[in-house]
Amino acid sequence: MSATSATAPPPPGPPRPVPPHGAARPRPAARRGVELCLLVAAVGISVYGYAEVGLARSGAVPKDALAYGGGLGGLALLAHVAVRARARYADPLLLPIAVLLNGLGLVLVYRLDLEPVLGPRAAPAQLVWSSLGVGLFAVAVLALRDHRVLARYTYVSVTAALALLVMPIAFPAVNGARIWIRAAGFSIQPGEFAKVLLAIFFAGYLAANRAALAYAGRPLPVAGGLKGLRRLQLPTGRVLGPVIAVWLASVGVLVLERDLGTSLLFFGLFVVMLYVATGRTGWTAVGLLLAAAGAAAVGGTEPHVHARVQDWLHPFASIAAGQGPSQLAQSLFAFGNGGALGTGLGQGSSYLVGFAAKSDFVLATAGEELGLAGLCALLGLYALLVARGFAAALATRDPFGRLLAAGLASILALQVFVVTGGVMDLIPLTGMAMPFLAQGGSSVVANWLIVALLVRISDRARRPEPEQPAPAGTTGTAGTAGTAGPDTPPPARPKNPETPGSTGSAGSAGSTA
């Protein structure tokens, strides 16, 4: 046999049939079984961490380890049943990641409960709040059949959000900030729910006004070697009104409530969603300039904000003054003590941070006891959760859903960045809670609501469209005249429809040019 014949490619097979118009198309896999397997793994990892803390502290598995595992597993099963019933085509990674982060947060809070200097136990209350969050998740998935319904309540959402942001002003400050409502022994942080309502408002507003906001503005006036910056087109004055209004509102929150975290999240969310809606880099430049101007104006006049900026710039100043390490300094020591692999769950000393170890600085405990490897794994989970949120935004067909999914994912991303940067001395501390990980009932409930909306949007994005009936005159056979298959070009239209002999039908085989 010659070399040519030995290497000759096999003859091509028959052409793949093209499904005619209206024929049944392959349905995307629901992948609920994958979700269930990942949920089992998430609950198992959380229970293992819970048992590891008990073994490290007392040499025995905690007596309530099975109860903890059963409770977390029951919550995961409830959420899974809700998704299977009403959102079969949702992203199978969203729910397991949220369950794992919530479970690890309960482990860290339980571990810090074993330190008497940190006050009463908080893990039981955190489990109750987690149950409320999962319950709200199930209700949202079951009741909200279509996320586009929320677009009808654009201005109702912003009204409710502003009311929630203003309410804490009438209550006493806690640790220098007015962000809590305390009544009948309960405390609620309304700003956590306001962020979800603001995302709904921004999505509705930007979807309706995208054309005006995307209007090409003036190029940046530069010359010489900086001509490449002329691509940064600054928006015109008439569309700057909404941005200025949101900026003033965020500065008002910062001044009246002394809440740096909510102020940054408020304005940052709007700028990110504005960029997603318009694709104009000029909006990003304007947002950064306004944020810097607001921070400079308020930082020099508001004592609470000024103190946080000074602590950020000089984290070890209290040690030099003989007053002992500050909370931020203790956090940095905890990260350094953890090294690459950590000291092990239950064997760190991050409780020295003080009363905020369970809330603002819970990431310091994770960094010390899980090490750099464990911290990177945690941040990787957050990155994957945010990425799946943006994936749902890219796959969604309607502008409102696309903007809402991008906004909700941005909320999670901004919170993780602000909290991580604060405890690592990259940016000033803001007092925000790490999503799912830190102690805080309002935070965990609001974050479960965010995941529910992302699940609903991703289900809508992946759900197959209803099949369209085949138009009259199609034969249902690929490759023949009259076929309307997606890969078959339509027959040529007659150049002169008045030519004798033409049938007048552009799709029939007997038409003549």
Tell me, yes or no, whether 21 lies in a domain. Answer: no
| 172 or 88, higher pLDDT | 88
Q: What integer pLDDT is reported at residue 424 of this predicted model?
A: 93
Give the CA dihedral 451, 456, 458, 464, nearest 10 degrees: 160
167 within some domain: yes
Which of 56, 58, 54, 57 lies closest to 67, judged by CA? Answer: 54
In this structure, is residue 348 part of a structural domain? yes
Q: Is residue 194 part of a domain?
A: yes
Residue 321 or residue 443, greater confidence: 443
| pLDDT tens digit sequence for 191-221 | 899 999 999 999 998 898 887 777 655 655 5
The mean per-residue pLDDT over the stretch 407-425 comes to 94
Q: Which pair of structure tokens corresponds to residue 465?
A: 């469209």
Helix, strand, or coil here: 187?
A: strand
Instruction: Pick the more confident residue, 482 or 21.
Output: 21
- pTM for the full model? 0.82
In total, how many domains does the chain have? 1
d(CA 49, CA 352): 22
In a domain, residue 502? The reply is no
Question: Is the CA virtual torsion 497, 498, 499, 500 positive or negative?
Answer: positive
Burial of 331 (0-12, 13-18, 19+ CB in 10 A): buried
Tokens of 154: 């654009």
pLDDT tens per residue, range 223-280: 555 555 555 555 665 666 776 777 777 777 767 777 777 788 888 888 888 888 888 7
- Residues paired with residue 182 on neighbouring β-strands, in sequence order: 187
CA dist., res. 422 & res. 260, Å (int): 11
Asked if residue 504 lies in contact with residue 497, where contact means CB atoms within 8 angstroms, the answer is: yes
pLDDT band of residue 7 (cuts 50, 70, 90) is low
Q: Per residue in 338-389, pLDDT tens?
A: 999 999 998 988 778 877 778 888 999 999 999 999 999 999 999 999 999 9
Residue 501 resides in a domain: no
Evaluate if residue 452 carries a pLDDT over 70. Answer: yes
Nearest-angstrom CA–CA distance, 241 and 437: 37
| Band (321; pLDDT cuts 50, 70, 90) | confident
Positive or negative: CA dihedral 169, 155, 279, 414: positive
The residue among 85, 199, 185 whose CA lies nearest residue 145 is: 85
Torsion of CA 171, 174, 178, 182, to 10 degrees: -40
Q: Rounded to 5 degrees, what are φ and ψ at 116?
A: -60, -25
- 93 falls within a domain: yes
Q: Give pLDDT tens digits for 9-57.
A: 555 555 555 555 544 455 667 789 999 999 999 999 999 999 999 999 8
Given a cut of 80, whether residue 93 has pLDDT beyond it is yes
**Structure confidence at residue 480 (pLDDT):** 39
Domain of 402 in residue numbering reads as: 32-221+229-462
In a domain, 8, yes or no: no
pLDDT confidence of residue 236: 60
